[in-house]
Amino acid sequence: MLRYVPGSDTATQVASIDANTRFNDVIADPEGRVFCGTMPGETELGDLYRLDPDGQSQVVINDVDISNGMGFSPDLSRFYFTESNTNRIFVYDYAVETGHISNGRALVETPPDDGIPDGMTVDSAGNIWSARWNGSKIVQYTEAGETLQQVSFPATKVSAVTFGGSNYTELYVTTALNDNSRDREGTRAGGLFRIQDVSPSGTAEYRSDIA
């Protein structure tokens, strides 16, 4: 059981689920619950957990090979979940009243030589924006998983994407730099990028009620 220890705001006060692994990506839902995924350990895969405001936690997806970007459809009927090392983005039926997810199925499967799906966000029209690690781009998909557009960056490891700005019309994109090797990873590897006047716009993210 994952348990929060009151009295401190530091991450060290959250007990580890598995000493051989760590968290990778998290998201809060409209009711303040938190979905959080663990990385694979040396001998087993990770899992996706849901933490509830009443202090309870449970595994909602077992045996995940690198838990990554998540999001909700605007009508809150769908939950999206990225499993990076399978090169897939999954969609689940989502019940906002309980936080229950069900009926998981693959929505997007990326070619193995076209980068790895990483962080993601959802815009106000329900389109999915997925960062592509080792792919130098972000990709916008429809809710049916069809590609709408791709935006390239001078950085190989594109890691996350989110909306910001007063009207959520700005798209912020993070990239990584390993070993200070911009010759291999791009001239702007490790940079934060902003794209302005994006339409459809994004929406505000939900806030955790775990305390």
Q: How far apart are CA 175 and CA 184, in angstroms?
A: 14
User: CB 10: neighbour CB atoms within 10 A?
Assistant: 8
Reading the block at residue 82, the tokens are 């990225």
Q: What are the start-end ranges of the H helices in the chain? A: 182-185
The torsion of the CA quartet 48, 42, 118, 134, rounded to 10 degrees, works out to -170
Q: Quick one: tokens of 8?
A: 């401190």
Alpha carbons 142 and 145: distance in angstroms, whole number: 5
Rounded distance between C-alpha atoms, residue 51 and residue 9, angstroms? 17
Instruction: Catalytic residue, from 25, 47, 118, 123: name it.
Output: 118
C-beta separation of 55 from 3 below 8 A? yes
What strands, in cross-sheet order, belong to the sheet with 192-195?
157-164, 170-176, 192-195
118 is catalytic: yes
Contacts of 1 (CB under 8 A, 6+ apart): 57
Catalytic residue annotation = 118
